[in-house]
Amino acid sequence: MASQPPGNLSPTTSPGSPAFGTPDPSPSLVSPCPHIPACPPPLCLPSHLRAQPVQASLAKSAPLLEDTDGAAKGYETDAGYVRKFAGTMDDSATGVDAVKQWTPRFEGWNLAPMAGVPIVGLMFVNRLNTIADTWRDSAGILSEVLRTDSGKIDKAADNYVAAARASTAE
């Protein structure tokens, strides 16, 4: 009695497991990322950072194509180049700003005798710091210029699209 249930189970499971094993190399293990342009390995990117699937971009431009032939698509792509340039400008502004944050100064324990700068070097420290500070401020100016101007260019792209759309609508 007691030996029967395990005896019954073992024949059923042992042929069952190879049957399960054969279809097992399932795609779900190979690519856990369900997104169409697969995300970079470790984790899936948040939705707004993910590359838009191809269908989405096609669907976006498709109604425009139907609207007015060719010309509509033209101004969008042209404006797209402008926006891309503005985006690069904005990235550059961020890059310069990041670099700015790292500007090294000599301060704090660096100035303590026998810990950091040699004592004859102390007379140069202020001048080196002045250079670093000016550099940092200048980098800040450049970053700000790039940031605001990228906004201007973005706005210009918007204006262009609006104007082109208005003229095709008429």
Site for another protein in 99-118 (CB under 8 A): 99, 101-104, 106, 110, 113-118
- Name the phi and psi angles at 46, rounded to 5: -60, 155
Among 121, 129, 169, 170, binds another protein (CB under 8 A): 121
Contact between 149 and 141 (Cβ < 8 Å): no
Residue 11 vs 118, nearer CB to another protein: 118
CA distance 14 to 70: 64
Residues 131-150 that bind another protein (CB under 8 A): 131-132, 134-135, 137-139, 141-143, 145-146, 148-149
Residues 30-49 that bind another protein (CB under 8 A): 40, 45-46, 48-49
> According to DSSP H, which parts of 22-121 are helical?
27-30, 54-67, 71-101
Residues 72-101 that bind another protein (CB under 8 A): 74-75, 78, 80-92, 94-99, 101
Residue 31 vs 52, nearer CB to another protein: 52
Residue 9 vs 162, nearer CB to another protein: 162
Q: Which residues have C-beta within 8 Å of that of residue 132, sequence separation ≥ 6?
A: 103, 104, 105
Q: What is the nearest approach in angstroms of another protein to the Cβ of residue 17?
A: 42
For position 16 contacting another protein by CB under 8 A, the verdict is: no
Q: Which residues have C-beta within 8 Å of that of residue 157, sequence separation ≥ 6?
A: 79, 82, 83, 86
Tokens of 117: 């700068």
CA distance 20 to 28: 15
Among 24, 67, 107, 158, binds another protein (CB under 8 A): 158
Residue of 99, 105, 100, 89 whose CA lies nearest to 137: 100
What x/- string results for residues 48 through 67 when contact with another protein is judged by CB under 8 A?
A: xxxxx---------------
Instruction: Give the count of residues interacting with another protein (CB under 8 A).
Output: 75
